[in-house]
Amino acid sequence: MRSESVADAGVAAAPVDLRELALTFSDDTCMEVRDARGERSLFDMMGPGRETLRGVPPFEIVVGNIQHVSLTYQNEEIDLEPHARGDVARLTLGDS
């Protein structure tokens, strides 16, 4: 007797609710972004430019050199200053 797996039973996996983070850098900054799955989407020293990330919320975010970073989540500009100690912001975005 063979047991049916979820795939065999024709049951589709639950859709993953990916959300988007858009980052703009005007100077060098250190960045780390992890999503709810614990996946590290970004862990790097970033130079001037743009980066768009997709993942499962909530996102755990660490931003260095905050005066040179613009962060947008779900088309809303996020103010990093209230999350900062000195020049580094730590924050969580998205549903928990």
Q: In this predicted model, which residue has the larger pLDDT, 15 or 63?
A: 63
User: Would you place residue 96 in the very low, low, confident or very high pLDDT band (cuts 50, 70, 90)?
Assistant: low
pLDDT at 12: 60
**Rounded distance, CA 58 to CA 12, Å?**
24
pLDDT tens profile 35-55 = 999 999 999 999 999 999 999
pLDDT at 10: 56
Judged by DSSP in three states, 6 sits in coil
Q: How far is CA 7 from CA 4, 15, 16, 43, 59, in A?
A: 8, 14, 17, 34, 29
The pTM for the full model equals: 0.80
Tokens of 34: 């992890």
